[in-house]
Structure 1
Amino acid sequence: MTIDTKLQFPIGECPTSFDITSENISNWIHVIERFPNAIEELIKDISKDQLNARYRPGGWTVKQVIHHCADSHMNSFIRFKLALTEDTPTIRPYFENRWAELSDSLDNDVESSLLLLKALHKKWVVLLKSLSDDDLERAFVHPEHGQKISLGENIGIYAWHCEHHLGHVRLGILGSR
């Protein structure tokens, strides 16, 4: 099966490099800050069928995307804390596709994930806004590819991640109408 890359990557693939400027950092933090409310606004009036719609053939359902964001953003927040308190730690990856098949990710009630995202992002944004230039250069190592990822880059990655999955939710809702 050929995957339509516009459905897989509705805002384009994640950039491989990021221009770490104070303006970009501020913009990316703003994206992260508004994400929980943006997701909530998108799904406020959707039906159970729309919640269970897939954004593309073979892709996750809208509810799985929402639950995934809670899981992924928790992992990212912890990675920030590790990088801020340890010297270039190697983080622990997780099997996101397997997590998306667990009972909590298949639950039609996404309220707990929305609440988690709201609380987590509030705490995360406080941390992100406090980072110094030196902090932004701190990094962790991702063992899947051995690459060092700076916290500045990771802010950009997660701003992209937020917009990427907002695109998936939009596609799932629109495709189910």
Structure 2
Amino acid sequence: MDNRYPIGQFECPNEVQKKDIQMWIKEISTLPSRLNALTVSLDEIKLTKTYRENSWNVRQLIHHIVDSHLNGYMRINLALTEENPVVKTYEESEWAGLTDYNLPVKVSLQLLKSLHERWTYLLENLTDTQLKRTYQYPDGNKMRIEQSIALYAWHGNHHFAHIQLALKD
């Protein structure tokens, strides 16, 4: 197994079924409680554990998930309100070095819970037409909202698996 991709690399689906969307939304909606259960009792030593050499530690992973999912939520809102907007990318590794990554993880876990509650409600109420709306990255690659749901479900599970690896003794 490649520890960089413990659940495999993301494969963007071209054809998306309603049942897939429902499964991905469920994964997004349950991530905060799964992550909280996994990390609620961790001490400082465990929060500094990494899943491989030179990787982010558990604390950084938790804060990163929130940063990424905030961006995902905003990208979907932009796609719903603008015609194929160009979304901003960000330097994840630079963000992981910012001082707010030293905050207790409970701060990000609380934010993730609220964000995912709101995000899930939005996603569950999208029409078929809305699911097909797109945004694009600066390089010109387009993503439909339904594909974005798949991406962020994978992303949460991907880093959840990283945290599980880091905590494995």
Query: How would you bin the TM-score normalised by the shorter chain?
Result: over 0.9
8 Å CA contact 2:12–2:150 kept in 1: the answer is: no
Cross-structure match for 2:60: 64
8 Å CA contact 1:100–1:106 kept in 2: the answer is: no
Q: How large is the RMSD of aligned CA atoms in angstroms?
A: 1.1
8 Å CA contact 1:67–1:105 kept in 2: the answer is: yes
Q: What code does the residue aligned with 2:13 have?
A: S
Displacement after TM superposition at 1:47 (Å): 2.1
Measured in 2, the distance between the counterparts of 1:118 and 1:94 equals: 22
Measured in 2, the distance between the counterparts of 1:70 and 1:8 equals: 19
Measured in 2, the distance between the counterparts of 1:18 and 1:160 equals: 15
The match for 1:73 among 63, 69, 75 is 69
8 Å CA contact 1:18–1:156 kept in 2: the answer is: no
Report the number of matched residues.
169
Cross-structure match for 2:157: 163
Give every structure 1 segment of 4 or more consecutive aligned residues whose post-TM-superposition deviation is greater than 6 Å: none
8 Å CA contact 1:28–1:159 kept in 2: the answer is: yes
Secondary structure of 2:3's match?
A: helix
Cα shift readout 1:117-147 (whole Å, capped 9, x = no counterpart): 000000000000011110010000011x310
Displacement after TM superposition at 1:44 (Å): 2.0
Secondary structure of 1:7's match?
A: coil
> Gapped runs of 5+ residues in structure 1?
none
1:141 aligns with 2:112: no
Cross-structure match for 1:27: 23
1:127 aligns with 2:122: yes
Displacement after TM superposition at 1:16 (Å): 3.3
8 Å CA contact 2:135–2:142 kept in 1: the answer is: yes
Which piece of structure 1 moves more, 45-54 or 129-138? 45-54
Measured in 1, the distance between the counterparts of 2:34 and 2:12 equals: 25
Displacement after TM superposition at 1:18 (Å): 4.6
Relative to the length of structure 2, the TM-score reads 0.97
Q: What code does the residue aligned with 1:172 have?
A: A
> Gapped runs of 5+ residues in structure 2?
none
Relative to the length of structure 1, the TM-score reads 0.92
